[in-house]
Amino acid sequence: MVVTLIFFLLTHHFVNSEPISRDDFPAGFVFGTASSAFQFEGAVNEGNKGASIWDTFSREPGRILDFSNADMAVDQYHRFKSDVDLMKDLGMDAYRFSISWSRIFPNGTGEPNAEGINYYNCLINALLEKGIQPYVTLYHWDLPQTLEDKYEGWLNKQIVKDFEYYAFTCFKVFGDRVKRWITFNEPRGFSIQGYDLGIQAPGRCSILGRLFCKKGKSSTEPYIVAHNILLSHAAAYHSYQLHFKEGQGGQIGIALDAKWYEPISDTDEDRDAAYRSIDFGLGWFLDPLLLGEYPLSMKKFVGKRLPEISPATSKFLLGSFDFLGINHYTTLYARNDRAQIRKLILKDAIADAAVITTPYRGGVAIGERAASRWIRIVPWGIRKLANYVKDKYGNPPVIITENGMDDPNKPSIALDKALQDDKRIRFHQDYLSNLSAAIRQDDCNIHGYFVWSLLDNWEWNLGFSVRFGLYYVDYKNNLTRIPKDSVKWFRSILRVNGELNNQI
């Protein structure tokens, strides 16, 4: 145990958790909250909206832990004006939200839906009236169901043209006011969860025969999907450069999910395993965009199942973003999987990296757990990840597009106790302290931080069983928004000379 502790102390950066404020970040650093259309809007049958793959998936028996759906979610579709007031009161500079593709094109393509466009125009205008900048995500997992039915969605190259047309339409109708666009949210997440494990929409997999999924091939489909996502992202980027950049002056980014992986031991094989985990996560998408090819470790371990990036495609992808969004929540230990038993049995993409990840080393947890089992609170991980991106990729402009933690939604907890979210306050205090150190001490090129999330919301497979919000949503009382203690904390740190700041 003593040896483990010494190793821990020698290999980790610690930052004193002194009170944080805007002054600990550069001028112009953006603070915001984040959301997604499917988790927040509700109103699934209003405004001529079409069905999405998540509408379909969430209605399948056994898919959602608490048997709920997002038909109403937290009803931001009807309550956006009052939610914008909450952001203003917090002192946030920006709001990251996603557009529902099937609100703009109920059938995936064709003529744009005027009611959908009107809704997002009203939301964008409400934000700008309060001095809050819109950061808009074009795709946050909710593909129009018609495109899934027509040609299997992201598995077909036709999706590249349809996404480009959807993006073009959004740039055209909203781009006079939206200056920060994010093409995709967590493409690795939905490639693996939706096409390898089959636990998220559209629910495709082949692991353990057909026990979980009716269709799919876990060893190949995630790579095909990811490749088409990269092509779609680049197509949208180049369309913006050609048609809108000069007149609108906006920027295009992509939001990638990225854990930090710490070697479980100081051996070459475990260090290699940790870097390989990052390659199969962040590098899967960032290497093609900044280096023009997939990571060498992926080429080696996936082989011919990994789509080829031709010289022409490499040129098309290379440099096709203005900023990088990183969704970071947690850190795990990584060790080399010598036996590769999972790969032999399941034959799925997630096993290709030949890495075993765990939150424990020597029986000691890497950090305290949040409500979700996958989130371990490890503040130093965000600093190590920031330095990794700086050192490997030449210090591109980065925005932390999501960071946060959840509490369990327990009906037995008294409201006053549920509002006392000291753990969340410590989480953001410690992560922001490490982020500030990465910027000021390590010269990492980071320009913003978005909290997930403004409100408690519908959390995909977990339904309403966990709460990520700064504001408590009373699901039993008209979805009333009630500030948690973390709201007061953020309000205090975002003040400038005693006043709230809402200008970037």
Domain membership flag for residue 16: no
pLDDT at position 499: 58
Give CA–CA dist 336/132, Å, rounded.
Answer: 46
Find out whether 154 and 143 touch, Cβ atoms under 8 Å.
yes
For residue range 109-140, what is the model confidence (pLDDT) as tens digits? 999 999 999 999 999 999 999 999 999 999 99
Asked if residue 445 belongs to a domain, the reply is yes
What does the alpha-carbon distance between residue 431 and residue 381 come to, in Å, rounded to a whole number?
9
Say how far residue 336 (Cα) sits from the centre of its chain.
27
DSSP letter for 52, please: B
Distance, CA of 384 to CA of 12 (rounded, Å): 9
Cα 210 to Cα 470: distance, rounded to the nearest angstrom: 40
What pLDDT digit, counting tens, does each position of 220-259 carry? 999 999 999 999 999 999 999 999 999 999 999 999 999 9
Residue 397 vs residues 87, 371, 443, 448: alpha-carbon distances, Å: 25, 31, 11, 10
Residue 312 counted as domain residue: yes
Convert the pLDDT of each residue in 143-201 to its tens digit: 999 999 999 999 999 999 999 999 999 999 999 999 999 999 999 999 999 999 999 99
Confidence band of 211 (pLDDT split at 50, 70, 90): confident
3-state secondary structure of 32: strand
Q: Is the pLDDT of residue 8 over 90?
A: no
State how far the Cα of 248 lies from the Cα of 234, in Å rounded to an integer. Answer: 18
> Token pair of 289, please?
């965009």
Establish if 7 belongs to a structural domain. Answer: no
Amino acid 344: pLDDT? 82
**Which whole-number Å values give the CA distances from 151 to 48, 50, 114, 299, in the listed order?**
23, 17, 26, 28
Q: How confident is the model at residue 501 (pLDDT cuts 50, 70, 90)?
A: low
The percent of residues in the chain predicted with pLDDT above 70, rounded, is: 95
Name the domain count of the chain.
Answer: 1
At residue 285 the predicted structure's pLDDT band, cuts being 50, 70 and 90, is: very high
* 300: containing domain: 26-494
Task: For residues 478-498, give the mean pLDDT.
Answer: 90
* 497 or 322, higher pLDDT: 322
CA angle, 341 as apex, 202 and 283 as ends, to 5°? 55
The answer to whether position 9 is within a domain reads no
Tell me the sheet residues that pair with 252: 181
Q: Which residue, 271, 372, 226, 393, is CA-closest to 326?
A: 393
- How far is residue 33's CA from residue 95's CA, in Å, rounded to a whole number? 5
Position of tokens 């031991």?
265
The answer to the question of residue 480 being in a domain is: yes
First to last CA, the chain: 48
Task: Provide Rg for the chain, Cα atoms.
Answer: 22
How many Cβ atoms are within 10 Å of 280's Cβ, its own excluded? 23
> Residue 208: is its pLDDT beyond 90?
no
What mean pLDDT do residues 363-389 have? 98
In the predicted model, is pLDDT for residue 15 greater than 90?
no
What pTM value is reported for the model?
0.95
196 lies in a domain? Answer: yes
- 197: domain CATH number is 3.20.20.80
In a domain, 504, yes or no: no
The sign of the dihedral angle between the CA atoms of 389, 329, 203, 149 is negative
Q: Cβ neighbours of residue 478 under 8 Å, at least 6 residues apart?
A: none
The catalytic residues are 186, 402
Distance CA 131, CA 196 (A): 42
